[in-house]
Structure 1
Amino acid sequence: MGWDKREAKRVHFDHERRAALLATDGTWRRECILVDVSESGARLRIDGSPDVLGAREFFLLLSPNGLVFRRCELVRLDGSEVGIHFLSPDGSRPSSMTGEKK
């Protein structure tokens, strides 16, 4: 899947939006820039090595104090750019992202 083939409408930012990735167990943290975001996921540019993303699940911290966050899963890694899907708190994909009708 290419960066421009996501089904959900994306929002691009005119100014740099800083965020951070945090391991679900808290063992690592990577600063990142939010490139674009949609209802189902986001594209990020990470600072530092992407090696820690081998875990595939992590949190995206959207506020400096960590009170605003989303649980995520790695979908695509291309150099320093990362594609992620947002997960429900229980670790599953929300029904709106799996194609199920309510």
Structure 2
Amino acid sequence: MSMAHAGSPETTGVTSWGHPVPAAQLDTQRGGTDTGPVTINANMLNARMFNNSATDNVTGNNTITEGAFAGASGLPIVIQNSGNNVIIQNGTILNLTLK
């Protein structure tokens, strides 16, 4: 494997990645949350709407066609609204375990 260095055209060969870090040392550096069997997540979405009105409004169709997510990466999220005087609240919780 070769590793390029910024600002220089030459490369050097990497022959070893060194020694693994002991698990006890990694344990002191870990972030995250309780790894127990129960994970509780909550979204507090408390929007409010007051004194609103909608008169002679026209709404349309919401359409997602084939290929809309072509080439997408990550976690695509779609929020659609075809109404009037609505509050759209969205919360996403992603629990990820790397092993």
Structures share fold, TM-score greater than 0.5:
no
Which structure has the bigger radius of gyration? 2
Structure holding more strand per residue: 1
Structure holding more helix per residue: 1
TM-score (norm 1): 0.20
